Amino acid sequence: MNRTQRTFTGRKAGFTLIELLVVIAIIAILAAILFPVFAQAREKARQASSLSNIKQLGLAMQMYIQDNDETFPMQPKRHSMEFLREKAHLRFRTNT
């Protein structure tokens, strides 16, 4: 008996348009779910960073106050404009 084998020479390996659209739809749904979660995580990270910066600023102020005779930076009686002019930290300049 003579048997003939069928071959699918006309069909190439690849994805159909429907398969690609389904995959794109799934990715879009996952992205829509995950983007708000990432935004919330980013906002919490910013808040934590800001809180850390504020704490560091407070510690720096305390260290400055302890090192400088319990005075705050730019306290008017110690760091006035006259004081800055006397010590030559502030010089007025003109364009002439």
pLDDT digits (tens, 9 = 90+) for 23-38: 999 999 999 999 999 9
- Beta-carbon contacts of 81 under 8 Å, excluding residues fewer than 6 positions away, are 90
Return d(Cα 52, Cα 54) in angstroms, integer: 5
- The structure's pTM equals 0.49
Residues in the chain: 96
Per-residue pLDDT tens over the stretch 45-72: 999 999 999 999 999 988 988 888 777 7
